Amino acid sequence: MKIYDYRGKNNISGPRLREARKAIKLSQEELAEELQKQGIEVERDSISRMEIGSRFVADYELIKLSEILEKDIDWLLSDIDTGEASEAGAETTAEETAGFLPDEQNGLMNDYRPLDEKPEWFPLESESDDEEF
């Protein structure tokens, strides 16, 4: 079995899980019970080991934790040491990012295109039958 290790931990979400759990005043036992209601069999000690980084957090567990703790998965996976995603799970809106995009791209985040239409930058179809994308 492959042992995963990042900075001496088995996950990077542990500190964020603890922060989010404490913010909504849930005990480790209560969080474990909520996960059990969602069909994920974990005990209180599993939550403790997730939070201190000694236990791997599966992707399906992270999804349910995100829902229960009402935090964005990106926030749970952000590095607490660097201060990234300090807005406690808030999603970035188009209005918030508008100042960071060139003017011609500001409205693109809310635009959509039917799947059968190719974008303007898409390469023209080749006249040769030999080439395929």
H runs (alpha helix) in the chain:
14-23, 28-37, 44-52, 59-69, 73-76, 94-97
Q: What is the CATH number of domain 14-76?
A: 1.10.260.40
Residue 14 has pLDDT above 70, yes or no: yes
Assign 90 to helix, strand or coil. coil
- To the nearest whole number, what is the mean pLDDT of the chain? 75
pLDDT in tens, 45-96: 999 999 999 999 999 999 999 999 999 999 999 977 655 543 444 444 444 3
- pTM of the predicted protein model: 0.59
